Amino acid sequence: MPKPGRAQLKLSKERRQTSGRRARLKGLGGGLLGGALGLYLAWLLAWPQPQSAGRVGAKIALVLQGALGRSAWFLPLSLVGILARKAARKDAARRSLLWVSLAAALAFAAALLGLLAALFGASPVAWGGAVGNRLQGLLVNVFGAFGAFLVAAPFLLVALNVLYGLDYLEGVKAVGRLLRDDFNDWRRDRQSVAQKLREAKAAAALEKPAPMTSAPVSASSSSSKPSPRLVPAAAESAESEPNSGKPSRHAPADAAQAAPKRRPPDPASPFAGYAPPSADLLDLPKNQAGSGKPPSEELDTTSRRLEKTLHDFGISAAVVGVTPGPVITRYELEPAAGVKVSSIVARESDIALALKAKGIRLLAPIPGKGAVGVEIPNPRPAFVVLRELLERGALGSKDPLTSFILGLSADGEQRTADLQKMPHLLVAGATNSGKSVFLHVMILSILYRARPDELKFVMIDPKRLEMTFYSGIPHLFDPTASPENASVITSAKHARQALDALVRFMDARYEKFAKWGVRNIDSYNQEADRRGEPREYFVIVVIDELADLMLLSRDSVETAIQRLAQMARAVGIHLVLSTQRPSVDVITGVIKANLPCRVALQVISRIDSKVILDSSGAESLQGRGDLLFLAAGAQKPERCQGAYVSEEEIRRVTAHLVAQGGPSYAPWEAAPSALSADLGPHGVAPEDFARALKLIIERRRVSQDLLKSQFGSSARATNLLSLLEVKGLIHKPDGSNRWEIRFDQIEDCLKKNFSSASGTPAP
């Protein structure tokens, strides 16, 4: 037999496509026709009066009600599916079977209604019509009343199966599954209640006083108590080491004893009557249904689903502990012998899909434990506010003044950190991740405990949006301005000058500490108390957007930050750098090397997380204050939920602080030198002027291109060149295009106004 050619195959394919389109059109036309006819019949049965249905419609309704009774309503409900399926059928016998099934369904439905009417004492004709009355009478005479039910009901079910393709076996299975699940849940609840009762009895027995006997307690009695599935918070806090960088609920005892005791303010000080803000200025937490922790039944269900998901991929692991928290719940997986941890990490996306979680984070493994942690967000997270943490005593009276609130840990415990032990902090995260709120919580938690004569803030906010709330508070410090002119620094030029002035301020403190023979600010304050001298205050530098400063004045800003980060810790100056662009251009290697403590909020990609923390994980955070805190010397970051504070709360606290007085500090620390006052109208910093003079002496020439290569801006080069000419240090003779340099005057200017070692203004 010859094989069909390509033309024949193509023709047969076109015929099949044409026939398929025709079948679909027939099905659509049949469905529309059945819908219209069914709607018309329903209208007739609902309103059979001639005014509504017309003469013909009233007669049709009368015939249907007389023949089928109440079962006539089954006819308009079935015509849509019947005509659609009939039009799609190619076999005439099957199309006829649909109509036969419809007739059988109508007849046996009418018969069943007639049997029910007879059972309840009603008229079989009214319920089942003439057809139902005749058929139920025949079935009762042959099989009896009960047998008639047994015959009519199966015939009706078979007819419905042919009409609609119903699968009764699947329905029975679904009902069985529901009953089985309900029974399992009931049995599991009973076991959970019994377990809690046993634990409560065991705890009550342990709380009772021991009997006055000399016999020791048997070890077997304690072993009978079942091990709890939930990991208590105390176990977590006991495992954390009290090293210098880790967050804790309270400061380590040795650090609290080493720090000098707080001294009351001097009666002659402007802050003698200073009153700290009260917690009433902050809002109470919103009404919540609970603490955010899932119920025990939900924890058990998630644990079983987690084990089953791994088992489906051939990974044998068991959930050995569950640590529920206010925002996330951590499940501890113990792999079986021979199971690689990397195989569990590779299934992170599959686990998130199976658990229907927004995003999960894996700890492989948990530090100090032989288990893999799976952190899953709670469906109903708790709302953490600053007032709640303050009232719960997150910061004690013995904690250092530089301590601040981080938030709640994954197990619901309060977490704090100390800037003195960091000694500097880097905060990074994407937009709307809670970075600015974290900074506000840190600042307010410090302002609630420190007096203005004990701690001051240098606030740099290039965006002019976040830190402007704190304008006028007595804790402000501007190293380039007098106290009455101190404010939040908003311009890049002012920020650069302030950072350079802080470097000089740091050098001045080092000279003062060297004269007294002390190593750090705590030792200096202890010696000051012994001598009756005033103490030195801490200075916290908060930069809200580091990327903007690095973009405008990269060289000078990075140099100043590097010097402060390396040396400022001992003299009580601490940096808090924040940015929403975690890239290597902003968070350079020099900055990261000097800022080991970092806070990462939600970021977009895993690359951004590695730039901040040198590891992934920040891309799986949930936002809204969900953060990772990397302490100095810690192996892995700790997850915390930051607190929330609103703008209205910040305004109330700052208004209370402003009412206590304005900024106040020793004027000599911020008084500008004569050279700074002389160069100020020209818009040139003394440091830039000194660099330009040294460059001219080294190169023995001057030009705009030379200054531009050094300062990176044509405008700054032109401004410096004009200033040098105004000061008479350079001169261009008439008829010449070359600058005449007066080197002797330049050397005299350097000796008079600048130290030869550092180039800073001479004291």
Q: Which two tokens stand for residue 159?
A: 């007819």
User: What pLDDT shows up at residue 74?
Assistant: 67
The predicted pLDDT at position 205 comes to 62
- Confidence band of 601 (pLDDT split at 50, 70, 90): very high
Select from 321, 353, 377 the last residue of a domain.
377
The reported pLDDT for the residue numbered 404 is 93
Domain-embedded: residue 1:
no
Q: Could you report the per-residue pLDDT of 334-363, keeping only the tens digit for each?
A: 888 888 888 888 888 888 888 888 778 888
**How remote is the C-alpha of 180 from its chain's centroid?**
38
Give φ, ψ of 238 to 5 degrees.
Answer: -70, -25
Show the DSSP H helices in 614-685 as ranges. 647-658, 674-679
Neighbours of 344 (CB within 10 A): 21
For residue 734, give every residue at least 6 positions away whose Cβ sits within 8 Å of its Cβ, in sequence order, or none.
none
231 assigned to some structural domain = no
452 is a domain residue: yes
Query: What does the pLDDT read at residue 35?
Result: 66
Angstrom distance (rounded) from CA 733 to CA 639: 69
Instruction: Inform me whether the pLDDT recorded for 255 exceeds 60.
Output: no
* pLDDT-above-90 percentage for the chain: 16
Same domain, 417 and 562: yes
pTM of the model: 0.59
- What is the pLDDT averaged over residues 23-30? 61
Q: Which residue has the higher pLDDT, 71 or 226?
A: 71
Give the whole-angstrom CA distance, residue 701 versus residue 741: 7
Q: In 3D, which of 636, 615, 453 has the Cα closest to residue 538?
A: 453
- How confident is the model over 280-296, as a mean pLDDT? 74
Domain count, the chain: 5
pLDDT digit string (tens) for 431-473?
888 899 999 999 999 999 999 999 999 999 988 888 889 999 9
Write out the H or E segment, with its range, that includes residue 401: none
Residue 397, in any domain of the structure: yes
Structure tokens at 208: 């009772």
Alpha-carbon gap, residue 43 to 39, rounded angstroms: 6
Q: How confident is the model at residue 239 (pLDDT cuts 50, 70, 90)?
A: very low
Q: Using 50, 70 and 90 to split pLDDT, how confident is the model at 600?
A: very high
Residues 320 and 414 in one domain: no
pLDDT above 60: residue 331: yes
**Lowest mean pLDDT: which of 112-116, 493-497, 653-657?**
112-116
- Residue 648, pLDDT > 70, answer yes
Tokens of 750: 């350097």
Q: What is the CATH number of the domain that holds 651?
A: 3.40.50.300
The CATH number linked to 322 is: 3.30.980.40
Residue 608, pLDDT above cutoff 90: no
Give the pairing of strands 361-363 and 403-409. Answer: unpaired
Q: Supply 663's token pair.
A: 């900024």
- More confident call, 335 vs 683: 335
> Which is higher by pLDDT, 555 or 646?
646
User: Residue 150: pLDDT above 90?
Assistant: no
> Does residue 466 sit in the same domain as residue 575?
yes
Which of the two residues, 36 and 760, has the higher pLDDT score?
36
Same domain, 425 and 564: yes
- Burial class of residue 757 in the structure, from the number of CB atoms within 10 Å of its CB (0-12 exposed, 13-18 middle, 19+ buried): exposed
For residue 683, give the nearest of 657, 628, 722 by alpha carbon: 722
pLDDT band at 251 (very low <50, low <70, confident <90, very high): very low
| CA 628 to each of CA 600, 619, 633: distance values in angstroms, whole numbers, following the listed order | 5, 10, 15
Residue with the two structure tokens 């049997």: 115
Residues 393 and 412 in one domain: yes
* 13 burial via Cβ count (<10 Å: 0-12, 13-18, 19+): exposed
Radius of gyration of the chain (CA): 41
In a domain, 574, yes or no: yes
Poorest-pLDDT segment among 151-155, 285-289, 638-642, 662-666: 285-289
Report whether the peptide linkage leading into residue 423 is cis, meaning its omega lies within 30 degrees of zero. yes
Q: Who wins on pLDDT, 537 or 172?
A: 537
The pair of three-digit structure tokens given for residue 169, joined into one six-digit string: 């076996």
Please state, rounded to an integer, the average pLDDT across all residues of the chain: 77
Domain closes at, from 668, 693, 728: 668
CATH number of the structural domain spanning residue 709: 1.10.10.10
Same domain, 706 and 597: no
Which of the pair, 763 or 120, is modelled with greater confidence? Answer: 120
Q: Which residues of 47-70 are buried (b: 16+ CB within 10 A; e: fewer)?
A: ebeeeebeeebbebbeebbebbbb
Predicted pLDDT of residue 489: 92
585 and 654 part of one domain: yes
The pLDDT of residue 656 is: 93
Q: What is the pLDDT of residue 83?
A: 58
For the ranges 36-50, 489-503, 550-564, 673-687, the one whose mean pLDDT is highest = 489-503
Residue 684 and residue 658 in one domain: no
In this structure, the number of other CB atoms found within 10 A of the CB of residue 278 comes to 11
Do residue 198 and residue 81 come from a single domain?
A: no
- How sure is the predictor about 134, in pLDDT bands with cuts at 50, 70 and 90? confident
pLDDT-based confidence at residue 218 (cuts at 50, 70, 90): very low
Please report, rounded to a whole number, the percentage of residues in the chain having pLDDT higher than 70.
74
Q: What would the mean pLDDT of 697-719 be, rounded to a whole number?
A: 85
727 — pLDDT class (breaks 50, 70, 90): confident
Confidence label for 242 from pLDDT (cuts 50, 70 and 90)? very low
* Domain identity same for 726 and 613: no
Tokens of 60: 């049709």
**pLDDT of 577:** 93
How far is residue 233's CA from residue 740's CA, in Å, rounded to a whole number? 76
Lowest mean pLDDT, pick from 215-229, 502-516, 527-541: 215-229
Neighbours of 721 (CB within 10 A): 19
How big is the CA angle at 545 (ends 542 and 547), to the nearest 5 degrees? 130
pLDDT at res. 198: 75
Q: Give the pLDDT score at 477.
A: 93
* Spatial separation of the C-alpha atoms in residues 247 and 684, rounded to whole Å: 44
Domain boundary among 202, 223, 251: 202
3-state secondary structure 16-68: HHHHHHHHHHHHHHHHHHHHHHHHHHHHHHHCCCHHHHHHHHHHHHHHHHHHH
Structure tokens at 330: 């951590």
Residue 185 has pLDDT above 50, yes or no: yes
Identify the CA nearest to 431 among candidates 572, 581, 568: 581
Mean pLDDT of 386-411: 87
Cα(77)–Cα(29) distance, integer angstroms: 17
Return the amino acid letter for 362.
L
**Same structural domain for residues 553 and 690?**
no
In-domain check, residue 694: yes
Which of the pair, 71 or 619, is modelled with greater confidence?
A: 619
Which residue segment(s) compose the domain that 341 sits in?
Answer: 296-377
Residue 759 lies in a domain: no
Tens of pLDDT, residue by residue over 410-432, are 888 889 999 999 899 999 998 88
Is there a domain that residue 186 lies in? yes
351/364 same-domain check: yes
**What is the structure's pLDDT at 513?**
92
Tens of pLDDT, residue by residue over 76-105, are 766 655 655 554 454 555 666 666 777 777
